[in-house]
Structures are given as structure tokens and as C-alpha cells.
A and B are shown apart, each in its own frame.
Chain A
Amino acid sequence: MMQDLVVVLVFITYAILVLIVFGVLLTWVERKQAAVMADRIGANRAYIRLPFTRIKLVWIGLFHAIADGLKMLLKEDFKPDAHDGLVYEIAPWLVFAPVLLVFAVIPFGGTLVPSEILSFSESASKWFAGRTYQMQIAHLDAGLLVVFAFGGVTVIGAMLAGWSSGNKFSLLGAVRAGAQMISYEVVMGLSVLGLVLLYGTVDLVDVVKQQSGIVLGVLPAWGIFLQPVAAILFLTAAMAENKRVPFDLPEAESELIAGYFTEYTGMKMGLFMFAEFIEIAVIAALFTTLFLGGSNLPFLGDAGFVFPGGTEVPLAHGAVVLIQVVVFLIKVLLMSSFQVQVRWSLPRFRYDQLLRFGWTFLLPLGILNLVATAVVAYVRNG
């Protein structure tokens, strides 16, 4: 029992660290990637001076995240006169917490056998004898449903923030957020249903395990190759859920100041922004889990690489676990970077275009994809 507690605590620490680091790092990635895409250099002026020297560490602008954080923490905590006390305070947390919670069911690695990793210590490996763990905080059979349940809570936070601010721009932003996020939630659910039909499960660990094979001889059996339409639909809907360009109507700067968090200052506003950046990482993790094979690397099994020609490269268990964790992180980073690229490439929709796009283009496409998948699954499995 204690062993489980220790392992889960390690997983939780790792997950929170990864999310916070991704949230901070993505502010830097967003600035720098946008700059490189636009022939610019990007933020590179924040520095840390080594004490008692004149050496300034710039580190390609990484310290701007610290400067941002300090600025938000030290700002005056302004509240509008007309705000609704309790709701105004809890709204940022209602946006921030579900984003972290979603990560609880995402498997960020393969199978972990602590007794093999701790084999250098006799007592430690004996303590863990015979126990294996999936690298995931909460192993729930209904993992995918939990993702959608928590993803839906974010809408409530955004709407409460807008309602409780006592500002018409905030209210408009909140109404837009509500309509937009509920519309795209439908598309997101439909796009994933096709995968559920194929895999026959909503357990994310099982989903990842089923993507470890090879299809058509060369392609890894990742969801994106089995369900390419669903992958595009899911990514589109997920970006709309995250309210980023081209779907940033709820916080459209040129129309609504900052949308539903106009009246928030300091770290409360920072929580909204931080939630947005962490959600980029969470969406990337979710996309990786569902469509990019999670922590699977082609030809990498539990005992090492097994190439089709019969060549085998045996690896220690620790090395395999490390490779799987790193592979997952790299996939997440690439997907986050792709979302940033989309954000800096496409112009914002008009609001009627946004809803029409969701209901009359993405939704029918999702249904068609689902029907086609159902037919194929029926023909194949009888």
C-alpha cells in the first residue's frame, strides 16, 4: 500500500512539474517562434546579473517568463466596484484547476517496474517486489470521459468570470465563450467517438497500448493514420476550446479589450493566461495520447528495440522507461509548437463564421467520419 502511495506521489510531482514548466516554457516558445516566423529576433532583454559581477545572463530570453511572473505578482490587485465577491474570486481557479486535472488520466510513459529500476538497492527492490505501475496518476477505466468532464468545467469558469466582473465587455466575452465552447465540445466528442469505436475502450492506457503496433508494413499504428479526419477535427475543436487564435473570439483584443477577464489584474489575470498556456500542453498531450501513440516509439518494446529484419537491441528497463517518457515529452512539445504556429498564421474568424464553421462544417464532417468508421469497424469485426 505504502509503495503505491510513494509511486503515485512521485507521478503527481512529476506531472505538476512538467505542466508548470511547459506553461512557463510555452510563453517563451510563443514569443520566440512568432518572432522567427516573422523574421524578428523576439524578446531577449530580460537578464539576471550574477551578484557582484557585471556578467548578465540573457539565455536567449528565457528569463522573460520570470519577469512576467514577478510583474503579475507585484501588481495592484484591482477589483471593479460592481464585482460579485465570491464568484469573482473563484472564477480563475475554476478555469485553472480543471486544466491540471485533465492531465491526471493521461499516461505519460509506459509500464514502470520500480523493483528493476531500484535493483542497485537490495532492500528497496525487495520492498517493491512484483509491483508494476502504469505511468499515469489515476488509472481510470473511463479516462476519456473524465477528460471531457473536466474539459467542460472550464466553460463555467470563463462564464462566471465574465458575469461577476460587472463589465459589458466581460459579459460579451463570457457569452461568446459559452456558445463557442459548448459548440466545439460536441465536435470534439464526435471526433473521438470514431477512435473509441476502433479501439473498443475509453481507457487511455489501453488506447496507447493498442497504438504500439505497425500497420501497412511501415506506418506505426497511431490514431492519426487510422483516423486522419478525426485527428484534424479533434485538434481544431481543441484549439477552439482553448480560445486561441483563430478561435479567440471570447478574448478578442480588438473587439472586447480582453474579453471575459478584462476586469482581472495581477496574478488572477495571470492564472487565466497560465491556464491557457498549460492547456496548450494538455491538448498536445491528449492529442499525443489519442492520435500519436502516446509514449510509443516504433519498434520499441518493453525489452528494447525489435526491428522487422530480426535485429534486436536489448535495453535495460530503466532506459526503456526513460526513452518512453522523453518520447512523450518531445511529441507534446512538437504538438504545442504546432499550435503556436497555427496561432500566428491564421486570422481570427468573425463570430457568425465561427459558429457556422462549427455547426455546418465540422459537425457534419464528424458525423460522416463516425458513420464511415462504424461501417468499417462492423465489416471488419462482424
Chain B
Amino acid sequence: MGKTPHRRKTYWNEPELGLWERLYILEVIHGLWITGGVFFKNMARWLTFRKGALTAQYPEERRSDYAAGNRGKHILTQRPDGRPQCVACMLCATVCPARVIEIEAAFDPDDAAHPKHPARFEIDYSRCVFCGLCVEACPEDAIRMPQDVPDLPAEDRSQMWVSRDHLLTWSPRSDAAKPYGGPR
């Protein structure tokens, strides 16, 4: 039995080359025309001090086109006096599937309305999955997730913990829903 040569299966969408494509040189010129066109278009933009690329240079530049509902870096909302809205109820830390929220509650006898408050409120962004369950769970609207991504390139995981003061101040926002305070 002699071996029969392998016959390639033919498909219904088999590419067909016309005379134009088989001459090759014309298609080469066509391809060079396209890439050259893109090159000169982008180069004209660069040379006139505009940006000729789609790239965002991440740590230096921030994209402006995040989705409206993008869950980004957390903030802790503030009362008018600048203290956190949080009452350290631990609901967010309990619901967090990645267990990245660590809260240490403290007692303040001077503030009769809100005696319990967080002395520490820390989030580990190396493990956070940005699910937004902490925001859903919060009864006080004390934690929110704006669009911006956590801008945290770090050399070590330990540097990716974010403290209470940072969460309060990186994008300060007071709670408009509460009767005692409007937007500042």
C-alpha cells in the first residue's frame, strides 16, 4: 500500500486571491500606503504638540473615560467637622469576600450621637477585588467607590495598605444625605 499524499480539507470560506492580490507587488504598495498613512497622520499630531497615540502613560496620565459605574478606589465620607461618617459597625469588614478591610473601633464619650468610631480603617489593595459589597453593606453611606482607580504602583505588598486618613482625604467628600451637612 503506497501512502496517499495528505489532501488539505477545503472550507466554504476558502480565501481566494484575485489577479490583483496574486501580483503581490500591488498589494505590498497598498499595505505600505496604509501603514505610511497612519504613520504620517500620527507624526503630524506629535509634531504639532498633540498626542498621536491611544496609549495612556499610566502613572503620569489618568484615563478620563472610565465607565460611569466603575468601582475604583474607596473613600470614607466625612461629617462637617471632618471626622469619618463611619460608625465602626464592621458590616463592610464582615461582608468583604477578600477580607481586606481591617477596622479598629474606638469609643468617644464626648460625641453622644456617634460614640463609636474607627481609630484604624485600613484596606489592602493588593488583595481587594473591587466587588463593591462594602459599599452595598454600609448602613451609614460611609464608604463609597468613585471612578478613579487606586493609583498604587508599589515595590512591595506591604506598601499597598491604605490608611484611614488617606481614605478620608485623597478625595474628600461629605455626606449630602445627612441633615446636618451639605456639600462643602
Residues of A within 8 A of B (CB): 33, 35-41, 232, 341-342, 344-346, 357, 361
Q: Are B42 and A345 in contact (CB under 8 A)?
A: no
Closest Cβ of chain A to B155, distance in Å, is: 16
Complex contact B35–A39 (CB within 8 A): no
Q: Report if B52 contacts A (CB, 8 A).
A: yes
Q: Is B54 positioned at the interface, with any CB of A under 8 Å from its CB?
A: yes
B contacts with A: majority SS: helix
Closest approach, in angstroms, between the C-beta of A321 and any C-beta of chain B? 30
Given contacts A36-B53, A345-B34, 6 further A-B contacts (CB under 8 A): A36-B42, A37-B38, A39-B38, A232-B25, A346-B28, A357-B24
What residue of chain A has the Cβ atom nearest to residue B34's Cβ? Answer: A345
Residues of A contacting B38 in the complex (Cβ-Cβ under 8 angstroms): 36-39
CB-defined contacts of B53 to chain A, threshold 8 Å = 35-36, 39-41
**B43–A342 contact, CB under 8 A?**
no
Distance in angstroms between the alpha carbons of A324 and B30 in the assembled complex: 33
A and B contact pairs by CB, cutoff 8 A, 20 listed: A33-B39, A36-B38, A36-B39, A36-B42, A36-B43, A36-B46, A37-B35, A37-B39, A37-B42, A38-B38, A39-B38, A41-B53, A232-B25, A341-B35, A342-B32, A344-B35, A345-B32, A346-B28, A346-B31, A361-B24
Closest to A338 in B: B32
A36 partner residues in chain B, CB cutoff 8 A: 38-39, 42-43, 46, 52-53
The answer to whether the Cβ of B48 comes within 8 Å of any Cβ in the partner chain is no
> Which chain A residues lie closer than 8 Å to B46 at the CB level?
36
- B57 contacts the other chain (Cβ, under 8 Å)? yes
Q: Find out whether the CB atom of B52 lies under 8 angstroms from the CB atom of A341.
A: no
The CA-CA distance from A195 to B35 in the complex, in Å, is 31
Q: B54 contacts which of A33, A39, A357 (Cβ < 8 Å)? A: A39
Closest chain A CB from B8 CB (angstroms)? 14
The residue of chain B having its C-beta at the shortest distance from the C-beta of A345 within the complex is B35
Which of A33, A41, A344 has most chain B Cβ within 10 Å?
A41
Size category, B interface:
10 to 19
Chain A residues in 8 Å Cβ range of B39: 33, 36-37, 341
In the complex, whether B64 has a CB less than 8 A from a CB of chain A is no
Q: Distance in Å from the Cβ of A98 to the closest Cβ of chain B?
A: 29
Q: Once bound together, how far apart are the Cα atoms of A341 and B24, in whole Å?
A: 17
Of the residues A35, A341, A357, contact of B32 by C-beta under 8 Å: A341
Chain A residues with CB under 8 Å of B13's CB are none
Which residue of the partner chain B has the closest CB to A342? Answer: B32
Residue of A nearest to B31 (CB): A345
Are A341 and B36 in touch, CB under 8 angstroms? Answer: yes
Distance of A10 from chain B, by nearest CB (Å): 35
A40 touches B54 (CB 8 A): yes
B33: nearest residue on chain A (CB-CB)?
A345
Is residue B55 contacting chain A, with contact meaning CB distance below 8 A?
Answer: yes
Q: How far is the CB of A237 from chain B (nearest CB, A)?
A: 14
* B154-167 interface bits toward A, Cβ cutoff 8 Å, 1 = contact, 0 = none: 00000000000000
